[in-house]
Amino acid sequence: MSQVLLPVFALVRRADLAEVIGTALAAKASGAGVRVIAARLGRPVETVRGWLRRFASRAEAVRHFFTVVLVDTGVDPAPPGPVRNGFADAVNAVVGAWWSAAERWPGIGKVSPWWAACAMSGGILLAPSWPSKLINTNRP
């Protein structure tokens, strides 16, 4: 068995950078269709559809995970209220967690919300194993 360390801007089992995938997720949350998103990003429709389906299938778990991060890291956190649908709520929670962490640690604000989401999720945001317990590499 081999192990690979992923850079913070990469998701497990995805060839595209987190920025590109995050842009697609945010566009979908704003109401854009898959064909429009794919054309804007210059990616195949089926690839973009796969990202959106995978994210939608676990939107509630993603929303919950990132809302907990938002509340745990925020100085004076206010969890995001419902937006439009579960997909948009999950995207809103990802951005909210980034915002909350950036308030506490300003250096985090220098990276995109999607880089932060990769780091916070251990790169498994769109992996088949989501949600799973993240591996703790610290020794007891």
Q: What's the CA gap between 9 and 88, in Å, rounded?
A: 22
The contacts of residue 86 (CB under 8 Å, 6+ apart) are 56, 59, 60, 63
Residue 31: the pLDDT is 94
In a domain, 13, yes or no: no
Q: Which residue has the tokens 């950078």?
A: 17
Q: What's the CA gap between 16 and 23, in Å, rounded?
A: 11
In a domain, 136, yes or no: no
Residue 137: the pLDDT is 46
In a domain, 77, yes or no: yes
**What is the extent of the structural domain holding 53?**
18-121
Residue 19: the pLDDT is 82
In a domain, 12, yes or no: no
Give the residue from 122, 114, 124, 133 showing the smallest Cα distance to 22. 114
pTM for the model stands at: 0.81
Residue 132: the pLDDT is 55
In a domain, 25, yes or no: yes
Residue 108: the pLDDT is 85
In a domain, 89, yes or no: yes
Residue 135: the pLDDT is 47
Residue 109: the pLDDT is 84
Number of domains in the chain: 1
Q: Quick one: 59 exposed, middle or buried, by C-beta within 10 A (0-12, 13-18, 19+)?
A: buried
Residue 41: the pLDDT is 93
Residue 25: the pLDDT is 93
Torsion over CA of 114, 118, 124 and 130, rounded to 10 degrees? -60
pLDDT digits (tens), the chain, 140 positions = 666 555 555 565 666 777 888 999 999 999 999 999 999 999 999 999 999 999 999 899 899 999 999 998 888 777 777 777 999 999 999 999 999 999 888 888 888 898 888 888 877 777 776 665 554 445 44
In a domain, 10, yes or no: no
In a domain, 45, yes or no: yes
